[in-house]
Structure 1
Amino acid sequence: MNLLHIDSSILGDHSVSRKISAAAVAALSAAHPGLSVTYRDLDASPAPHQSGALLAARGLAPDARTPDQARDVADADAVLDEFLAADIVVIGVPMYNFGIPSTLKSWIDHLAVAGRTFRYSEAGVEGLAGGKRVILASSRGGYYGPDSPAAPLQHQESYLRGFLGFIGVHDVEVVGAEGVNLSPDHKQRALETAVTVAGGLGEARQAA
């Protein structure tokens, strides 16, 4: 089995989402001996942003590309190949300004490829990337749950669920910590709870 681990927080060792995603990967690795883990840190090594230059490079024959163009196309292709090869995907995703980090959005842009992850048919859109288990390791500074007055501003989990569903991925779990900016004590309690839940992910799925 292959696991793809994505982190997108800009906070390094101070990141809540990174701690949750790490706990999830550790639990899944323990539950699946021999699991192959690929790690991509989008803060340290961002995926190339979609651009006119990248689109133009894709339109060239490989031997007509400059070294920089060849590198950018290869980097973008690697994003999709890593995702398609994964049986499990763990995504560390903090909420920034009601949405996801721009680096994570850029990563997602390379997954939306007609003919690879989705296709249009007479019956409508068909997702082609199903059969994966995706775990969102989420962190939020405030409260944005369904019963919260701020729920309409939550474009983090809702966006990811919507996109993943579009490409055929419906096995999506969220392990999150909310209200982490309310106080240091609350942050610690929310983090500890989320890490405990993440630590049981492998056992929970094996027992199902």
Structure 2
Amino acid sequence: MTTLLHIDASARSGRSGTDPHGSHSRRLSARFVEQWQKARPGDRIVYRDVGQHPPHPVTGEWIHAAFTKPEVREPWMRNVLAESDALVDELLEADVIVAGVPMYNFGVPAGFKAYIDNIVRVGRTFGFDRSRQGLPYWPMLTDMHKRLVILGARGDYGYEAGERIAHANHVEPHIRTVFGYLGIENVHGIAVEYDEFGDERLKASLAQAERRIEALVEELATSLGTTTRLPDPA
């Protein structure tokens, strides 16, 4: 059985097309999960909403606890790291991570940044040894064959590689860098653009994103050995 970790990071609680002022990224991530369940109904789905329920930000005490060897941690250190441990456990158990992450001021939402800071954990998701020859850091999730899907939404347009404002996109590149640092390099990205315009271009972008999601679900589900074929998109 495959475990899919579904993360939403939008500050908006609803989904566009369904709820007033709903989130495009939530709409896309929900679409992905719905299609996945059709293809692989026996898989386990774990949901984490860091937009509505953001993890606590990293503090000095958190850093002190995280860089203290587990066997000598005091009770307060274990308490400080409890939320982070739960988030890391979810990540380690997941085979596929689907993250709905909108662009806020050219970067990721604060809740998702807090999530990142909680899962980048020395001794759990990356290793560190000052005496190690070469680089003292190494990824710990490399051999787990995890797949990451980033589903985004942007107010403007032209953020893809080679386009007019690709240099201002600090969402997908940031996420790819962080998860690659942990050893997750099988990454796919799909995003809606033109949100601030709200015209036919937004509708076309949404339709294109949903078609790409359907194709990606079938590709990934098939790679995991599913025997259930998705219906052709209408």
TM > 0.5: yes
Which whole-Å CA distance do the structure 2 matches of 1:24 and 1:167 have between them?
A: 24
Q: Structure 1 unaligned runs (5+)?
A: none
Q: Deviations over 1:150-203 (max 9, x none)?
A: 221111111111111111111000121122222332222211221222123231
Give the corresponding residue for 2:200.
185
Query: Are the structure 2 counterparts of residues 207 and 32 from structure 1 closer, same or farther at C-alpha, using a change threshold of 3 Å?
Result: closer
Query: What 5-or-longer segments of structure 2 have no aligned partner?
Result: 15-21, 224-234
- Cα contact 2:84–2:119 (8 A) shared by 1: no
The one-letter code sitting in structure 2 at the alignment partner of 1:128 is M
* Cα pair distance change 1:95/1:36, threshold 3 Å: same
| Percent identity (aligned) | 32
1:35-74 paired onto structure 2 within 5 Å = 35-55=43-63, 61-62=74-75, 65=76, 70=79, 72-74=80-82
Residue 57 of structure 1 and its aligned partner are, at CA, apart by 6.1
Counterparts of 1:57-136 in structure 2, within 5 Å, are: 61-62=74-75, 65=76, 70=79, 72-120=80-128, 121-124=132-135, 125-130=137-142, 131-136=145-150
Q: Which has the higher contact order (CA 8 A, sep 6+)?
A: 1
Kept in 2, the 8 Å contact 1:140–1:178? The answer is: yes
Alignment size in residue pairs: 203
Aligned to 2:227: none
Question: Quick check: 39-48 or 94-103, which moved more?
Answer: 39-48
RMSD (CA atoms): 2.0
Q: For 1:94, what is the secondary structure of its paired residue?
A: coil
Report the equivalent of 1:160. 175
The answer to whether 1:5 aligns with 2:20 is no
CA distance in 1: counterparts of 2:217 and 2:205, whole angstroms:
20
How far residue 56 of structure 1 moved from its aligned partner, in angstroms, is: 5.3
The aligned counterpart of 1:34 is 42
The separation in 2 between residues aligned to 1:136 and 1:22, in whole angstroms, is 12
The structural deviation recorded for 1:118 is 1.6
User: Does the CA-based 8 Å contact 1:90-1:137 persist in structure 2?
Assistant: yes
The answer to whether the Cα contact below 8 Å between 1:48 and 1:106 also exists between their aligned partners in 2 is yes
- Counterpart-to-counterpart distance in 2, 1:204 and 1:148: 26
Aligned to 2:230: none
Q: TM-score, normalised by structure 1?
A: 0.88
Separation of aligned partners in 2, 1:167 and 1:55: 18
Report if aligned partners of 1:26, 1:199 keep a CA contact under 8 Å in 2.
Answer: no
